[in-house]
Chain A
Amino acid sequence: MNPNYQLTDSQDSYGFGFLDEFAKREIRRVILKAISIPGYQTPYASREMPMGRGFGTGGLQLTLSMIGPEDTLKVIDQGSDDSVNAVNLRKFAELTCPDVSTTESTTEATLIQTRHRVPEIALREDQVLNLQVPYPDPLVIVEPSEAKRKIMHGEGDYARLLTKLYEDLVKFDEITISHRYPTRINGHYVIDPSPIPRYDVPKLHQSQALLLFGAGREKKIYAVPPYTNAEPLVFDDVPFRTENFYNADGKRRACNRCGSTNSFLDELNLEDGSKAWQCSDTDFCNRQLARTDAGEVTQ
């Protein structure tokens, strides 16, 4: 190595959005392809990011390749803006995208990156939701080989997935898929909607906002374009069921903070051994609380 070589002594050499411009252009092209073929897992040359594979590198590459100084970014993990990973990703975006504003408000954001949740408040046409994806392929539970799965998707062959659902009913009298529920997009491709709860799956259907899914480690991008059908895989006589939050008396639990009865709840184990339930979407919870305080809503 050249003995006169000097390492740079600052972080300033990183460009806007961290990735080099060729990489961003490639990802934008792949996004366009993904939107054109709803639900199709479009392969791309995913780049290594400075956080671990599995920590949202796919969602982050989507965000960084499309973000501009006029954007307002919101990052959530488990519905919360302040959970460690959300904080980490938001700090990274602030560091590498000067002039971009960040927010905790779902309605103010133009770009939302999320892990495991779709916000409770319905998104608008001028918003994009980037979901972080660990397993992009719903067929992986019945077929380990990617080459074979690709053929099955092309042929719309989801028979083995349906068989798995049927076997669940035979063995347990219930479909046991709790999250990552296989969802058919635009009548053809079945996607893994990322590990969102079943509670969030209906929000994908005819969404006004563009929904993008980025799997960094598995190197795939797919999309549910605005106003597209998204239907969970079920049988005619077995309806799709979301998580229910009923207590032993059959009454819907309310968030013990804001009182809401129409949000996904986190179950908390308290110090005294009792349990409490609270909104997983912290921005939604804060809004409900503010409205309750203002006397607008009474539960």
Chain B
Amino acid sequence: MGYVAIKGGGKAIEGAAEALEALRAGGSGSDPLSLNAIEHQLRLLTSRIMSEGGLYHPQLAALAIKQMQGDTLEAGFALRAYRSTKPRLLETPPQDTGNMRLIRRISSAFKDIPGGQMLGPTHDYALRLMRFELAEESPEPFRRMASTFLKNAPEEALPDSFPKVLDSLRSEGLLPPKATNRNPAFDITRDPLIFPVSRSAALATMARAETGSMLAIAYSNMRGYGDIHPTVAELRVGYLPVMLPHPVTGELTEAGEVLMTECEVIAMYEPDESESAKGAAPEFTLGYGACFGHNETKAISMAILDRALQKGMRDGPENPSEDPEFVLMHIDGVDSMGFANHYKMPHYVTFQSDMDRLRSTREKYGERGETPQEESHES
């Protein structure tokens, strides 16, 4: 009888890596992608990877995209793994997103908002018609595009920052006041989620969650497995100055900036029967979403889920999207894609055990004459 061994794993892995690299190069004799081209021309992809990788580093995100041949889950994963090698140096104080240098901000709640609506770079009202002229683009006009845009931009000076839309509603007393007792932020990279978790932990988990997973659960809430009819009070995209204490003076100093997307949704008021709310006038409720980079779908989904989870935490979940454990344990791309893919690994031993159980059970059925005896091809 022949001897069959599980051998040659090392060689197989090397061969697989070579085949993968060969496909990355392609057969067309094209030039390798530059990180600069990925970072800027695929800026929304880079945004997504930074956000899901939980690390603000556009160049490394671009490298991950290049290396993983455009697989978003793998690229976010590579960035996350790189992050595991880095110690946490300090905690930032809470950052004021009112100071964001905006490239876009809209409100769907009011026609006119202090500072004005600013549509900015968006596909929202673009016709999704294929632009065939981009198929063969000549480099010269392409390179001039940005400078031409800036030259033709109106001279009027834009303010450095814009007031938040919510502030005006808050001044009317239609919204709950800003939380004053600031507990330290929950750091999901240093502490595991043990349910029930704080809202801070939920927000942190969602901020680096996989866009599609979060969209799917938020969409279930919008469609009817939930009752949030959100109004986007404000969606803003821009560069947030990161303020850190100066190492010598302790004074808050701008250490850099991060591109980010922030969304605040308002949902209808609802009865609050808690002791603390007794006698208080009803107020709108809020949901908050924010993530690294320019990713509006993610920020909106997160804001809707934040509102749904707050309701679930208070009254008990009535829908999957209101259940913190259901939502927070199933939206991480690294976890879910890793586990889905691990099923490709050998499971010889467990399957052997499965067969043992099935055979034993079938034997007993056979003894009782309930199923035909299993055919035996055993040697």
Option from A2, A179, A196, A274 in Cβ contact (under 8 Å) with B379: A274
- Chain A residue numbers with a CB within 8 Å of B376 are 248
One digit per residue, 1 when the CB lies within 8 angstroms of any chain A CB and 0 when it does not, for chain B 295-338 equals: 00000000000000000000000000000010001000011011
Given A21-B87, A276-B2, does the pair A195, B349 have CB atoms closer than 8 Å? yes
Return the contact of A50 from the options B9, B81, B87, B195 (Cβ within 8 A). B81
One digit per residue, 1 when the CB lies within 8 angstroms of any chain A CB and 0 when it does not, for chain B 76-106 equals 0110110111111000000000000000000
- Is the beta-carbon distance between B190 and A45 smaller than 8 angstroms? yes
Please tell me if A47 contacts chain B, counting CB pairs below 8 Å.
yes
Residue A244, interface by CB 8 Å: yes
Contact B379 A217 (CB under 8 A): no
> B189, A45: Cβ atoms under 8 Å?
yes
Looking at the complex, which one of B7, B88, B192, B325 makes contact with A43 (CB distance below 8 Å)? Answer: B192
Docked complex Cα distance between A26 and B187 (Å): 14
B141 at the interface (CB under 8 A from A): no
Instruction: Answer whether A179 and B9 are a contact pair too, CB < 8 Å, given A50-B81, A256-B1.
Output: no
Mark contacts of B343-379 with chain A using CB atoms, 8 A cut-off: 1 yes-contact digit, 0 otherwise. 1011111101111110011001000000000001111
Q: In the complex, what residue of chain B is closest to A180 when comparing beta carbons?
A: B350
What CA separation (Å) do A203 and B346 show in the bound complex? 23
Query: Which of chain B's residues has its CB closest to A6's CB?
Result: B59
Given contacts A82-B10, A147-B325, A195-B349, contact A18 B87 (CB under 8 A): no
Tell whether, in the assembled complex, residue B338 and residue A86 are in contact, meaning their CB atoms are under 8 Å apart: no
Shortest Cβ gap from B112 to chain A (Å):
35
Contact between B6 and A275, CB atoms less than 8 A apart: no
A262-293 near B? 1/0 per residue, CB < 8 Å: 00111110110111101010100000000000
Q: Which of A38-88 contact B (CB under 8 A)?
A: 43-50, 52-55, 57, 77-80, 82-88
- For the complex, is B277 an interface residue (Cβ under 8 Å from A)? no
CB pair A82 B335 closer than 8 Å: no
**A83/B346 contact (C-beta < 8 A), A52-B341, A176-B361, A275-B378 known:** yes
CA distance A141 to B335 in the complex (A): 20
At the interface, yes or no: B196 with Cβ under 8 Å from chain A? yes
Q: Which of A13, A48, A78 contacts B6 (CB 8 A)?
A: A78
How far, in whole Å, are A266 and B329 apart by their CA atoms in the complex?
Answer: 35
Which residues of A sit under 8 angstroms from B58, Cβ to Cβ? Answer: 1
**Distance, CA A240 to CA B341, complexed state (A):** 33
In the complex, B188 has a CB within 8 A of chain A: yes
Is A125 interfacial (CB 8 A cutoff)? no
Residues of chain A within 8 A (CB-CB) of B156 are none
CB–CB A273/B4 < 8 A: no
Nearest to B339 among chain A residues (CB) is A54
Q: Judging by beta carbons under 8 Å apart, are B13 and A53 in contact? A: no
* Contact between A278 and B4, CB atoms less than 8 A apart: yes
Which of B8, B59, B338, B364 interacts with A82 by CB under 8 Å? B8
Question: Given A48-B84, A276-B379, A87–B329 Cβ distance below 8 Å?
Answer: no
List residues of chain A with CB within 8 A of the CB of B60. 7
- A4 close to B (CB within 8 Å): no
Which residue of the partner chain, among B4, B9, B84, contacts A23 with CB atoms under 8 Å?
B84
B263 within 8 A of A: no
B349 and A280 form a contact (CB under 8 A): yes
Which of A45, A78, A91 is in CB contact (< 8 Å) with B349?
A78
Fill in one digit per residue for A169-203: 1 if any B CB lies within 8 Å of its CB, else 0: 00011101111100000000000000111110000
In whole angstroms, what is the CA distance A91 to B9 when docked? 11
- B6 near A15 with CB under 8 A, answer no
- The reply to whether A20 and B84 contact each other, CB–CB distance below 8 Å, is yes
Name the 10 nearest CB pairs between A and B, nearest first: A54-B342, A53-B338, A52-B338, A178-B353, A43-B192, A147-B195, A87-B9, A48-B80, A47-B84, A50-B81
Can you list 29 A-B pairs with a CB-CB distance of less than 8 A?
A: A20-B84, A23-B84, A26-B190, A45-B188, A45-B189, A48-B81, A49-B81, A53-B339, A53-B342, A54-B339, A55-B338, A78-B348, A80-B6, A83-B6, A84-B346, A87-B10, A146-B329, A150-B194, A172-B361, A174-B361, A176-B361, A244-B356, A264-B349, A264-B352, A267-B352, A267-B355, A268-B4, A270-B1, A270-B2
B-side residues, CB < 8 A to A, are: 1-10, 12-13, 35, 58-60, 63, 77-78, 80-81, 83-88, 188-196, 256, 325, 329, 334-335, 337-343, 345-350, 352-357, 360-361, 364, 376-379
> Which residues does A use to contact B, with CB under 8 Å?
1-2, 5, 7, 13-15, 18-23, 26, 43-50, 52-55, 57, 77-80, 82-88, 91, 116-117, 134, 145-147, 150, 172-174, 176-180, 195-199, 217, 219-220, 243-244, 247-248, 256-257, 264-268, 270-271, 273-276, 278, 280, 282
